[in-house]
A and B are shown apart, each in its own frame.
Chain A
Amino acid sequence: MEDMALVRKHELPGAPADIDERVDAILNRYSGERRWLINILFDIQAEFRYLPRDALEYVARRMAIPQVDIYGIATFYKAFSLTPRGKHIITACLGTACHVRGSIGVLEELQRGLNVKPGGTTEDGSFTLETVNCLGCCAQGPMVVVDQEYHGQMTPAKVRTLLEDERKK
């Protein structure tokens, strides 16, 4: 499970102080209604690669929504991350079709190779390992996606080669 502690953007080394302006620009794309909250959080995550505590507090103030509600949403939905994610996201599909074709072995090899658990980020900040319940590419399973690139018919042996290649990039 992901660490539930919130990280402030300014706690990170070299973080820019313009967080309010950047969140403002996002909020201005929407009307102030609550119904846009999830979309807004998506945009904030796209901007910062995670949901910084400062940004969430700012959204709560400007939209007049209790902070606890926003925290609830940010932790309820899997798409959101409260901690900074790596430069590259490696996603292993754990859908049923991938499972019966051996995705567990593939995931375990990814965990071993990266030395992180699902949801975790490597120490150097290069890779975050995530899992997904189905990408709908069941014909090519087991499936691993690195950023936007799909790698099908994975095996533990292919994972080793894949990680070697990704590290060279």
Chain B
Amino acid sequence: MIQMKFKTSKELEAHRSAVLKAQDPKRKWISFCVGTGCIASGAEKVAAAMKLELKKNGPKGVQFKETGCPGFCERGPLMVIHPEGIFYQNVKPEHVHDIVSRTLKKGEIIKELLYIDPSSGKQVTNEKDVPFYSKQKRLILGNNPLVDPTNIDDYMAVGGYTALGKVLSEMKPEQVIEEVKKAGLRGRGGAGFPTGVKWETTRNAKGAVKYIVCNADEGDPGAFMNRSVLEGNPHSVLEGMIIGAFAIGANEGFVYCRNEYPLAVKNVTLAVQQLRDVGLLGKNILGSGFNFDMSVVRGAGAFVCGEETALMASIEGKKGVPKQRPPFPSQEGIWGKPTNINNVETWANVPFIINMGAEAYARIGNKTSKGTKIFALVGKIKNTGLVEVPMGTTLKEIIYEIGGGIPNGKKLKAVQCGGPSGGCIAAANIDVPVDYEGLKQYGAIMGSGGMVVMDEDTCMVDVAKYFLKFLLEESCGKCTTCREGIERMLEIVTRMSEGKACLDDIALLEELANVVKDTTMCGLGNTAPNPVLTTLRFFRDEYIAHAKDKKCPAKVCKALISFNIDEKKCTGCGACAKRCPQSAISGENKRPHKIDQKKCIKCGVCESTCKFGAVSRR
């Protein structure tokens, strides 16, 4: 690690050369993901076992690097052995002995650990040949598996802080803003406002004190790209922020990170300290005369704090309640001072724009949306994980070519884009190019990039109910129409799911949704009806089935279904009867069992216990 403070960008470059010189490109090293997703699959135990095994039996000089998330969470824990690029997935502690003795020492490939491409059925040895990766363009995420997030030298080895050095030694603030404008960068967190224009407004705002903020309050359920970047490569975000602060003329910054992401908070806090130690934060950075420092602020579990004015109130140590705009944060933000706020992914794009040049950057993407975007592809999809593609890639390509399609031979029904503020895009419309404008025509938004895939077993009324419940809890309560309107909408949808609604309820629901949309103050309220409006638009027949026929076509809404045992499939093993909390299942040993519908509470324990698929919903 670095022991010095860099006084000029030349010193910084000299250090980078030294770091790179010490790295033999042919050296053997292991990249192992310890991001939250892989930790959830048991990565910590594997890492501990691997380190022990390397110490005991390993060949000398093999570096074991614990990195951030490469994105293929579905197959975690993930390991790549370099320089060959051998890709092992689903690695367990019992595999580490073989990995060391066979692969590291003898160069043998362990077939059981290889990924099998579900579409071709073939084993894939090399990471770069995995279709999930090979069809992406991994500008931001690409460095995650190369970098130990706790080691600033690792980030420097992949070109980190080159852009900052260039900006501080060669560019004027106005030139930086011009570059970002020319690149066409737009906000990656919500409405897609042009970043350069926002920076310029804050720069031109009156006042000597200005702030910048990184919005890492990634509250959209089903979205985790910001977590992954912040915990896997925090320096990439911080570099973008320092460049932005220089361009805007801010001397203090904040990273506002969600409390549910403990590893991200830890890694970004450490990175900030490292930057102070090497003089990239503090007074007179790289001899440029520019002063800047920042602190990490933890959120405390409030979705509305992703809204910029609420977030800023939270930074001030208050309740996160949104304020009326204008004045916009760029005029009056934190403590009344001009404040520029961008999200994690937006900041992380900045160093690339400086390094590549605006023109090269603007060649990625399409006419109105430039660069790449990371999506969290989750739900009913074969390859769950983070996907980074050029803007304008079609939803179909993302779902089928990268995501591998829908598991268990089911049919795609819809893709929910943009979190609770977004909407559901029906399967018939998946040729839509995924960019800011493309998604809007179907009532959805890009948001932070959550993509929840839904198959035929997903009930759209239930999805609407889910989001309304979520929003009811998260509404701050300031605007009456949001506070009360969401609750009334939830009542109607709940009636539908219980078979107690009538056809008129659909029209009432639609009317209410439009009122909430038109009469609330902040982004949360304005967009709260989107899940209802988009499902009403594209899946009206399902609402009608619930309201008129009292049926749930997807067999999800409990009041409208029953659990039954198929006599032909039931082996009479009695496993379900033993587990049933209501003792509602009876039958003789080795004879088909039956469910007493009067006792059944439809908890689904029998369905998930049965190994023969004999329990079904009707």
Contact = CB atoms under 8 A, between A and B. Distances in A.
Given A138-B378, A139-B76, A139-B378, A157 B608 contact: yes
A132 B298 contact: no
Contacts of B298: 38-39, 42
Given A109-B605, A136-B224, A152-B41, A77 B303 contact: no
Contacts of B41: 140, 152
A109 B37 contact: no
Interface residues of A, number: 48
A58 B235 CA distance: 39
A45 B220 CA distance: 25
B603 A137 contact: no
B604 A38 contact: no
Contacts, number: 155
Interface string A135-157: 11111110100000010100111
A134 B223 contact: yes
A97 B221 CA distance: 7
Contacts of A150: 39-40
Interface string B73-114: 110100000000000000000000000000000000000000
Contacts of A86: none
Nearest to A102: B604
A26 B303 CA distance: 27
Contacts of A95: 221-222
A88 to B, nearest CB: 17
Residue among A38, A97, A160 with the most chain B CB within 10 A? A97
Given A73-B319, A96-B379, A160-B605, A136 B466 contact: no
Contact of B450 (A34, A77, A96): A96
Contact of A134 (B260, B319, B579): B260
Nearest to B321: A76
B470 interface: yes
Interface in A48-85: 69, 72-73, 76-80
Interface stretch (B200-208, B310-318, B498-506, B509-517): B310-318
Contact of B378 (A42, A76, A97): A97
A23 interface: no
B165 interface: no
A79 B259 contact: yes
Contacts of A42: 259, 298, 300
Contacts of B416: 96
Interface in A15-65: 33-39, 41-42
B92 to A, nearest CB: 14
A143 B40 contact: yes
Given A108-B603, A157-B579, A160-B579, A38 B314 contact: yes
A11 B301 CA distance: 28
Contact of A105 (B37, B297, B301, B604): B604
A21 B228 CA distance: 39
B261 interface: yes
A138 B319 contact: no
B302 interface: yes
A94 interface: yes
B425 interface: no
B198 interface: no
Interface string B146-173: 0000000000000000000000000000
Contact of A138 (B222, B458, B476): B222
Contacts of B376: 136, 138
Interface residues of B, number: 59
B238 interface: no
Residue among B73, B227, B261, B608 with the most chain A CB within 10 A? B608
A4 interface: no
B223 A76 contact: no
A96 B466 contact: yes
A112 interface: yes
Given A96-B466, A97-B378, A139 B301 contact: no
Interface in B509-531: none
Contacts of A133: 219, 221, 260, 303, 470, 474
A96 B222 contact: yes
A87 interface: no
Residue among B39, B297, B605 with the most chain A CB within 10 A? B605
Contacts of A137: 36-37, 40, 73, 224
A80 B302 CA distance: 11
Contacts of A156: 603-605, 608
B315 A35 contact: yes
B300 A38 contact: yes
A117 interface: no
Given A73-B319, A139-B76, A157 B609 contact: yes
A79 B36 contact: no
Contact of A135 (B36, B315, B316, B419): B36
Interface of A: 33-39, 41-42, 69, 72-73, 76-80, 94-102, 105, 108-109, 112, 132-141, 143, 150, 152, 155-158, 160
Q: Closest 7 interchain pairs by CB?
A: A136-B224, A78-B301, A77-B300, A155-B608, A95-B221, A139-B73, A138-B378
Given A96-B467, A143-B40, A155-B608, 18 more contacts: A35-B317, A38-B298, A39-B297, A41-B300, A42-B298, A73-B318, A73-B319, A96-B222, A96-B466, A100-B463, A112-B581, A133-B221, A134-B220, A134-B223, A155-B604, A156-B605, A157-B579, A157-B608
